[in-house]
Structures are given as structure tokens and as C-alpha cells.
Structure 1
Amino acid sequence: MGVLAGKTALVTGGSRGIGRGIAERLGREGARVAVHYGSNETAAKETVAAIEAAGGEAFTLGQELGVPGDAAALWEAFDTAVGGDGGLDILVNNAGIAASKPFATLGEEEYDRVFAINAKAPFFLAQLGAERLRDGGRIINVSTGLTRTAVMPDLIAYSMSKAALDVFTRDLSKVLGPRRITVNSVAPGIVDTDINAAWLRGDEQAWAGAAALSALGGVGTPAEIADVVAFLASEDARWVTGHWIDVTGGSLT
């Protein structure tokens, strides 16, 4: 029996990359995991299959984020899938997009979409999910180390949206604290995912440069981020809330 046995978790963007790592880790700890996806149903089903192969329980939830009514529609689908009281114990707001463009060329439409998915969707998922979240529950937001450094200025809109998520984390911890619900954010650095594959994998110089940013001399993996999320989801982290946790491998030191 894992430390999350009997718990139900929802991981947005849980079909790939860091989200998949988190979903699989929570599943191994015994949580029933709702694996959310925006468009890639095949990848979400693969994540579910991996969780089930390891002895866990999971199901998929498909809903595009960043569109009107996204949070309400996702929760409706969640309620239908879980049945019963529709209760939730762990919400991981992981889904996000980046817009890598110079400041002078970033368009308004693209800017709005980054904020709609990275900041607005987590806000309303938490707002509408609060009534489903059991007392003593967890909200964990996936931020970025770029909210504390300007090393990648072409990601300015992405970094701004995640900074908004950090403020949301801090303030929401006060709102939900009386119910013993903790709210924290984790901030990865450069992580070896398929999203970063185009510039990171197969390029020794790019890989070496990314690794050199870390005090530990390496590039992060989804599992390393997921381990921190699993800790925050556990009872061991019951006295940690409103916190921004650096999981960049020391890239900000």
C-alpha cells in the first residue's frame, strides 16, 4: 500500500513529459489518477496503461484548456468518471504552454493564450474544484525557475504567466488553509522531455550548456520533479504550504 492509497488525484497535462512522470508517481503511491489531456488521447491512454501495469488505477479526461468554460467542462467530466461523491484529494496544475519569441514580435493572441492556459485555467480549476477537494487535500502548481531569473528572455510571456501562478499559490494557501488544504508550487529547470527534444537531445553542445546551469551538473528528468510533487501530496508535507520549491537542480544558485 502506497502513502496515497485511497486518494484521488487529477493531473492536468498528465499525458506527456513532467505531467506523465507525476501521474505515474502518484499512481505508484496508490492514488487513483485522472490523467488529463488537451488533444493527445493516445498519449494519455499510454500513461494510464503504464500506471495500471504498475498495479495502479487511472483514467483519462480530455478537455482543451484556454477556452471559455474549460474548467467547468473538465470538472463535469471528472464527476461523471469518478461517480459517487466526486471527491478529490490532490489537484496538480501541470498543463502549460510556452511562447518562445522576442519581446518585439510576440503577438497579442499568442500572449493571451499563454496566460489562458498557464494562469487562468489553474485559477478556475482550483476555484471550481475547491468544493470537490476534501479537507486536508493538496493543490500543487507546476511553475518554473524562470520566474526567478532572466536567463531566457525570449520566454518572457511564459515566465510572466508562471509568476502569476506563483502569486496565486501564495494567496490561495491563505484562503484554503482553514480547511488544512495545502497549496504549493514546484519550479523545474531544464527537464529532458519530448517538448525540449528538438533543441536538447542529439546536440552535445546544447546538452552540455543545459547541464552546466545546474549545480548538480545535469539535466533534470520528469521523475525528479515527480518525486517532489509526491512528497507535497503526502502526509509528510502537511505543514508545508504557500511555498515555492526550487527543483532546478541548483540552476539558480
Structure 2
Amino acid sequence: MYLISLLGNLLIILAVSCDPHLHTPMYFFLSNLSFADICMSTTTIPKMLVNIQTQNQSITYSGCLTQMCFVMVFPFLENFLLTVMAYDRYVAICHPLRYSLIMNPQNCGLLIIFSLLLSILNALLLSLTALWLSFCQDLEIPHFFCELAQVVKLTCSDTHINDLLLYLVGSIFGVVPLSGIVFSYTRIVSSVLRMPSAGAKLKAFSTCGSHLSFISLFYGTSFGVYISSILTGSSRKTAVASVMYIVVSQMMNPFIYSLRNRDMKGALRKLISGKPSFLW
């Protein structure tokens, strides 16, 4: 599954880079989403596979903190990227005449940089609070990788500040981007329904289909992890849900966009056949 995720997302990045027809904001954001998928999977899965192969489940304290930070950076980044992609579709459908002005290359680059910086700051804030924690015994995390919520449960320190920050940041940077996505698609649906042509409606909805599919998968697995950690006392179920969240959505992203998008299928076909558009 890791190799499929790695290869699929790399193919999307290469296809977007090599085909001039895909040098648009939508595919620029998609290639960044694929990059975030690769990083998110690589943060956890290789170490997990090494542990399984060597039958040695240990990780250093500094390694755990580092992994914990990156485990938060890339989901935050994906969250923001999905919101930016929803905004891109909103501008394209609701304000088509101003699209090239609003979504110019400079603004697209700034949106990516802002999303990345915000993700890093949030992850650092939450990770640095873990440095305050003290542990009374050797730690055995009931998980496949280091996750802040699991580490906090094992401390013998007062965790009120950690819990408060975790829920506050999780709520703000979970609810606000999702609200932006819902707002964007509410306006999109309203605009599409006012279109007189059935063909125009179908075309408008088709450009959003892949994005909506990935949003459903991303937030579905995210909420599944959150709900399972709250409602079930089983660390095994929480660990399985987290692996689904870390592995499955990243693996499915290339399939969602390549199978549902005609331009992407064409670019991938040219890339695999060894005839990328920039050579023509």
C-alpha cells in the first residue's frame, strides 16, 4: 500500500509538471496535495515496516517527538490544501471572468506558502508542549507510530494545558477549513443550478467530483479516528483507525483523480508511454 501510494502520487506530480495543459491552479494545488500525501505516508510507514521486519518496536525519544511533529504538519497541510482547492473551484465557477486575475501564479504560490507555514506553526506549538511532560516509567505506546494524544495519556504530569491546546487547535483548524469548504460548495451548487444548460451543469459538477470524493475520504477517516478515540476504550481500534487515516486516503488520492479526470488520464497515459507533452 505504501509503494502504491508513493508511485501513484509521484506519477501525478510528474504528469502535472510535464504536461503544459495541466499548468493551471487546480492541478498546481493537486500536485502539492500529492506531495503532502507522500510526506505524510513517509513520516510513519517506513519506520513501521522496519519495526515489523526487525521485531524491534523501539523508537528514541527525539525520534518520537520528531515523528509526532511531522504527523501533525502534513494532515494540517492537507486540510488547508483541500480548502484552497475548494476556493479555487468556487472562483472558477462563480466568478469565471475574474478567475485568472484572482488565481494568478503569485496568489497561488502565496496560498501554498501560507498553508505550509500555518501547518508548521501549529504542529510546533503542539509538539513543544510535549517537552513539558515527564514520564514515571518506560513508555509503551499502544500505537503504530508516535501520536501526541497517545503520548499525553502516558505522562504522570498535569496535562490540562496539553489537552486544552490539543482540542483548541484541533477544533479551530478542523472546523474553520471545513466550514470554508462547505461555504464554497454551497455557493458552487447555487451557481450551477442557475445555469440554463444541462451540459454546462454536468461539466461544472464534473470538475468538482474528484475533489469532493477526496474530501469525503479525508474527513471521513479523520472523524473516524477522532470518534473511535473518544467512544471506544480500545487502543487497538484507535490504532487501526489511525492507520486507515494515514495510509488509505493517501493511497486512494491518485486513483480518485486519475480515474475521474479526463485530462489527468491523458497526461498519465502520455507520461507512461514516454511521450510527455513538453517533448512534442
Higher strand share: 1
Larger RCO (CA within 8 A; separation ≥ 6): 2
Higher helix share: 2
TM-score normalized by structure 2? 0.28
Larger Rg: 2
